[in-house]
């Protein structure tokens, strides 16, 4: 792994590998929901003397808000639209090696929220509940083992942080409710070895609970050095 925190304050060496602007999805009718995964409303967890930290804060003021939050976390884009965007991405860059890597990731089973992978860590296309659960467990796995690149970085020290926040805001005039979700994930394995990403998603429901927009899905914003 080559890395250094990309999208986090206090990091001077920054390489943004891929960026996606938040925008409403054109194929909303093709989105689908899966059964929700169990996520904690609050979590404050540390490992290795505090070098690894996991934080979750999910807020809902009512049962209806909680249902909307779970639905937003359980909403998936169609696999076909991710594949079409992947094909356009590779065609524009002509990177044959990356094409092989992305094909391997694309063949993974299950409702697809991921875009690609870097050093055995999946990179997100859509911020979903299963994505959050994956990043929490991935960081626990990293914390439980030694620095995988110690022989290259010259240090046994490594650290990581996951921070997931989600909440619901309803507008009284139109009855619309918006679920805002944000994930920060970073892993550092040396002074010039890290990967970081920020993923956001906004799902808007009308007064009857119908989904009227999804913003944020797309190729991820992440960086390495």
Q: Residue 29, Cα to own-chain centre: how many angstroms?
A: 22
Stronger pLDDT, 173 or 73, i.e. the higher one? 73
Q: Express each pLDDT in 27-50 by its tens digit.
A: 788 999 999 999 999 999 999 999
pLDDT of residue 9: 33
Q: Give 104's contacts (C-beta < 8 A, 6+ positions apart).
A: none
Q: Residue 129, Cα to own-chain centre: how many angstroms?
A: 9
Residue 12 has pLDDT above 60, yes or no: no
Neighbours of 49 (CB within 10 A): 7
Average pLDDT, the chain: 86
Q: Express each pLDDT in 87-118 by its tens digit.
A: 888 888 766 666 667 777 888 889 999 998 88
How would DSSP label each residue in the chain?
------SSTT-----EEE-----B-TTGGG-EE-PPP---SEEEEEEGGGTEEEEEEE--SSHHHHHHHHHHHTEE--HHHHHHHHHHHHHHH--HHHHHHHHHHHT--SS--EEEEETTEEEESS--HHHHHHHHHHHHHHHHS--TTHHHHS-S--EEEEEEEEEEEE-TTT--EEEEEEEEEEEEEETTEEEEEEEEEEEEE-TTS-EEEEES-SSPEEEE-
Residue 143 has pLDDT above 70, yes or no: yes
Q: What is the mean pLDDT of residues 61-72?
A: 97
pLDDT of residue 41: 97
Residues 208-223, buried b or exposed e (16+ Cβ, 10 A)?
eeebeebbbbbbbbbb
Least-confidence region, from 58-62, 101-105, 169-173? 101-105
pLDDT of residue 30: 93
């Amino acid at each position: 792994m080559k890395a250094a925190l990309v999208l986090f304050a206090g990091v001077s060496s920054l390489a943004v590998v891929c960026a996606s602007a938040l925008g409403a999805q054109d194929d909303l009718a093709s989105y689908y929901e899966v059964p929700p995964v169990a996520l904690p409303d609050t979590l404050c967890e540390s490992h290795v003397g505090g070098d690894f930290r996991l934080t979750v804060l999910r807020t809902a003021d009512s049962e209806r808000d909680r249902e909307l939050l779970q639905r937003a976390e359980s909403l998936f884009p169609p696999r076909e639209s991710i594949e079409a965007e992947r094909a356009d991405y590779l065609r524009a860059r002509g990177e044959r090696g990356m094409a092989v890597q992305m094909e391997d990731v694309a063949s993974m089973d299950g409702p697809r929220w991921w875009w690609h992978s870097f050093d055995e860590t999946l990179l997100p296309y859509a911020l979903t509940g299963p994505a959050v659960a994956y990043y929490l467990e991935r960081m626990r796995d990293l914390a439980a083992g030694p620095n995988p690149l110690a022989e290259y970085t010259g240090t046994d020290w490594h650290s990581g942080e996951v921070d997931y926040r989600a909440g619901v805001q309803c507008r009284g005039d139109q009855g619309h409710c918006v679920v805002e979700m944000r994930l920060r994930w970073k892993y550092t394995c040396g002074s010039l070895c890290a990967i970081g990403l920020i993923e956001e998603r906004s799902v808007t429901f009308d007064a009857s609970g119908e989904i009227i927009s999804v913003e944020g899905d797309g190729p991820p914003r992440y960086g390495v050095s």
